[in-house]
Structures are given as C-alpha cells and as structure tokens.
Amino acid sequence: MNYKELIVWQKAHGMALKTIRATDGVKKSYAGEIAVKQLLRAATSIGANIAEGYGRSGGKEYARFLQIAYGSANEVDNWLNVMRDARLMEPDIFAELVKDNEEILKILAAMMRKLRERERVQEI
C-alpha cells in the first residue's frame, strides 16, 4: 500500500489544494501575507507528515508523525480563525475549510488511538 491510498492523506491533500486556491486572492497586505504563509505552511504540513510517517518503519515513529500532522491540523484551525476574524477569508470558504479540517482531525485521532492500542497489545 502507498500513502496516497490513505483516506486521511487524500483528505489532507484535497484540503491543502483548496487552501491554496482560497488564499490566492487574499489582500496583499503585510498581515495578510503573514497569515496566508502560516496557513499554507500548516495546511501542507498535514499531508507531508502523514506521507513521511507512512514511509518510516511504522509503530511509534509513524505515530509520532501522525501527532505532528494532528498538531498542524490544529494550527490550521487557528489560522483559519485568524483569517476569518481579520476578514481575510469569505465566511463560506472558511466554513468549508473548517469542516474539512475537523474531519481530518477526527481521522487522525482515531488512527493515533488505534496505534496506541496496538502498541499496548504488543507489550503484553
């Protein structure tokens, strides 16, 4: 199996592309540029960490990369809220990206939980 077959990676990749398109027309102010760069960095980091972790030996190392991806997804949530509150993003685009991100967070949480359970079983 390839990381591209993982539903969570597919969703993260799709959200990253949506984020790129959504931020393309953001006001070219200093604050807007900073917020866009931070949001894009965090959004693209989710899929990258899922892919990198998948390519590792598995187990605890894979779980560590999923935790990093989870942290990046939380960072995405923060930057989406900043952009909404600063009126740098349309409310409907914000809502769509938040919904996508929440789904990714749920999937990552379930994956990390399963990996922890699997590790506990192997310790016994």
Q: Mean pLDDT for each 10-residue chunk of the chain (124 residues)?
A: 95 98 86 93 98 87 96 98 94 96 98 86 61
CB 92 within 8 A of CB 83: no
pLDDT of residue 16: 98
Both tokens assigned to 83: 């952009």
The pTM score is: 0.91
CB 46 within 8 A of CB 79: no
Length of the chain counted residue by residue: 124
Q: In angstroms, rounded to a whole number, what is the distance separating the alpha carbons of residues 63 and 77?
A: 21
pLDDT of residue 64: 95
pLDDT of residue 119: 74
CATH topology (fold) of 3-123:
de novo design (two linked rop proteins) (1.20.1440)
pLDDT of residue 116: 87
Q: In angstroms, rounded to a whole number, what is the distance separating the alpha carbons of residues 5 and 92?
A: 29
pLDDT of residue 123: 60
Domain boundaries, the chain: 3-123
Q: In angstroms, rounded to a whole number, what is the distance separating the alpha carbons of residues 115 and 76?
A: 24
